[in-house]
Amino acid sequence: MVASTIRHRFEATAHLTVRVPHGADGDMTTGARTVLRRLDALDGVEIDRVTGLTPGLNALEVDVEVTATIAVAEDGDETEARATLEDGTGVEAVHDLAVEPAAGA
């Protein structure tokens, strides 16, 4: 029998820079949301506000303020939540992060 990893869940608000490929469906907000929703550690991603845009050769870097639920290892804390976001495909930077334990966590 394989042991499953117990996850700790946080409600998070974050200011991120997300890499949105040119040609992505929808507008830049939809593109950023799509990139973030592909991350296994995030649930319920909502873009609260777009705060900046930097065009690039193959993608746009979109600065966004988001709310989401983030799952980390059982003994995880804000540092691990930040590292999980920073390691996410398409996340270029984590500028600010605030977390609190999710209800029922």
**Does 7-101 carry CATH code 3.30.70?**
yes
pLDDT of residue 76: 74
Cβ within 8 Å of residue 52, ≥6 positions away: 17, 62, 63
pLDDT of residue 31: 94
pLDDT along the chain (105 residues), means of 10: 65 96 90 94 94 95 96 82 93 96 75
Partnered with residue 65 across adjacent β-strands are 15, 49
pTM, rounded to two decimals: 0.85
pLDDT of residue 104: 66
Q: Domains of the chain: which residue ranges?
A: 7-101
pLDDT of residue 57: 92
